[in-house]
Amino acid sequence: MDFGNILSFTAGQILGVDAIVYVLIAIGLNLHFGYAGLLNFGQAGFVAVGAYGVGMSVAIFDLPLGVGIAVGLAGAVLLALLLGIPTLRLRADYLAIVTIAAAEIFRLVVRSAVLRDYTGGSDGINGMARQFYALNPIPEGSYGFGPWTYTERGAWIRLIGLLLIILCLVVVALLVRSPWGRVLKGIREDEDAVRSLGKNVFSYKMQVLVLGGVIGCLAGFVLSLSRGSVQPDNYSTQLTFLAYTALLLGGAARVLGPVAGAVILWVTLAFTDTALRQAVGAGYIPTWLMDGVQVGQVRFILVGLALMLLMAFRPQGIFGDRRELALDVR
């Protein structure tokens, strides 16, 4: 086994595009679930709207990148309004049902054969990142060191991704420490109490649904532009639930929770993947127990196990405050 290889691949994931994308998705979910208590199980839908908004505009309708970004953002706002207006007056579980269904409907519609000319059907959209990389101010070459060595393209997408993360974190940090954030946390605890104090609960829930959805849509931009393509099946419910995993891992209702959670999640996935693969290759794990193909599944089993242990022994996540969980929330 090549431990250097395992470690460097694992370390590389700290700045991996996957980690960056999941940090963004989880920041949006943190606003929804962590601060406002909204059960949005359709965050993948917002990510997909971002990806398809920019992908369809640029690659199929030949529009400038800026227009594509605007289309994606407008789409995310529209989706939030569409989901929120009928459900936000109802109990929390209705939002969960409607969002998970809406995200799946969106995915199944864009991958349908009928819309092949507009959405690329099940093949998705390719060659959509040309304009984005044409904007790259970084000259050709190799940047960084060790496991963090990138081409100018890799550096450019990471730069944009990190800037977006910083922007979102600053906005979230300012908001949750403000009276606006106080109303959100109040809604999470008991929305009738907040209503009885003269706050328009529906309006606040709508605002946070839009804001968190837009942050999810930014993740869709980064994901699709980094790959230069949009694949409909990347936006299934698994995306949402992995992002929830990252959020709970880091600690909900903590500004940096999503960052820590997403990075730890991807580092763990990378480590178990390479370590198991090498162990199988070197014969440490007999093939009757597991072969190289099965590693992809087994690593998720191990990560699931790690999560269960975490929830059992540190249910508040990495950054959480155990004191809060011990409270009688009735």
Partner 1 sequence: MSDEPTRSAAATAALAEVERRPGAPKPDPILVADGVVRRFGGLTAVDVEHLEVQRGAITALIGPNGAGKTTFFNLLTGFDRPDSGTWSFDGQSLAGVSAHRVARGGMVRTFQLTKALARLTVMENMRLGAQAQRGENILSALLKPLWRRQEEEITARADELLRRFRLDAKREDFAGSLSGGQRKLLEMARALMTQPRMVMLDEPMAGVNPALTQSLLGHVKDLREQGMTVLFVEHDMDAVRDISDWVVVMAQGRIVSEGPPAHVMSDPEVIDAYLGAHHDQDLADRAASDDPEVAGASVQPAASTTDPEPRP
Q: Which helix (H) or strand (E) holds 239?
A: helix 237-250
Residue 322 — φ and ψ, nearest 5°?
A: -60, -35
Instruction: Please report whether residue 163 would count as binding partner 1 according to CB under 8 A.
Output: no
Shortest distance, position 326 Cβ to partner 1, whole Å: 9
Q: Give the nearer residue to partner 1 in terms of CB position, either 114 or 327.
A: 327
The site for partner 1, by CB under 8 A, has a size of 32
Answer for which of 179, 286, 288, 322 binds partner 1 (CB under 8 A) is 179
Per-residue contact string for residues 264-283; x = within reach of partner 1 by CB under 8 A: --------------------
Q: Which helix (H) or strand (E) holds 143?
A: strand 142-145
Q: Which of residues 200-229 bind partner 1 (CB under 8 A)?
A: 200-201, 207, 211
Q: Give the nearer residue to partner 1 in terms of CB position, either 204 or 235.
A: 204
Instruction: Please report whether residue 181 would count as binding partner 1 according to CB under 8 A.
Output: yes
Instruction: Please report whether residue 91 would count as binding partner 1 according to CB under 8 A.
Output: no
Instruction: Please report whether residue 195 would count as binding partner 1 according to CB under 8 A.
Output: yes
- The closest alpha carbon to 34, from 310, 251, 324, belongs to 251
> Reduced to 3 states, what is the DSSP secondary structure of residue 158?
helix
Answer for which of 5, 142, 178, 287 binds partner 1 (CB under 8 A) is 178
Instruction: Please report whether residue 59 would count as binding partner 1 according to CB under 8 A.
Output: no
Residue 137 buriedness (CB in 10 A; 0-12 / 13-18 / 19+): exposed
Instruction: Please report whether residue 199 would count as binding partner 1 according to CB under 8 A.
Output: yes
139-178 per-residue burial string, b: 16 or more CB within 10 A, e: under 16: eeeebeeebbebeebbbbbbebbeebbeebbeebeebbee
CA distance 170 to 149: 27
Instruction: Please report whether residue 81 would count as binding partner 1 according to CB under 8 A.
Output: no
Beta-carbon count within 10 A of 185 CB: 15
Q: Are 228 and 157 in contact (CB under 8 A)?
A: no
CA distance 148 to 20: 14
Answer for which of 50, 186, 232, 320 binds partner 1 (CB under 8 A) is 186
Structure tokens at 291: 């072969």
Shortest distance, position 312 Cβ to partner 1, whole Å: 21
Where does this chain bind partner 1 (CB under 8 A)? 171, 174-175, 178-183, 185-186, 188-190, 192-201, 207, 211, 323-324, 327-330
